[in-house]
Amino acid sequence: MPLPSTPFENYLDLVEAARELAIHPQSLRRLIKQKKIPATLFAGKYLIERDKLEMFKSNYDPRPGRKPIRRLL
């Protein structure tokens, strides 16, 4: 018998998401405040959707400093 799905199984909290991105939770909080990654504030905790985190992660470079602009040509 499958377990009943919880409404939060598609979400990660701030610490879990930061671990997934290999960055400090405070850095992730800054990205959320800069609207670079969508998050929902629920009961005082940030929740990030797994699929949105995966999309962000595929384009994110965690190294500090300015990033080179990618050109198509």
pLDDT at 8: 76
- Burial (Cβ within 10 Å: 0-12, 13-18, ≥19) of residue 41: exposed
Extents of the domains making up the chain: 11-59
**Are the beta carbons of 53 and 63 closer than 8 angstroms?**
no
As assigned by CATH, the class of the 11-59 domain is: mainly alpha
Query: pLDDT tens-digit profile of 37-59?
Result: 999 999 999 999 999 999 999 88
To the question of pTM greater than 0.95 for the whole model, the response is no
Query: pLDDT tens-digit profile of 2-28?
Result: 555 677 789 999 999 999 999 999 999
- Higher pLDDT: 57 or 70? It is 57
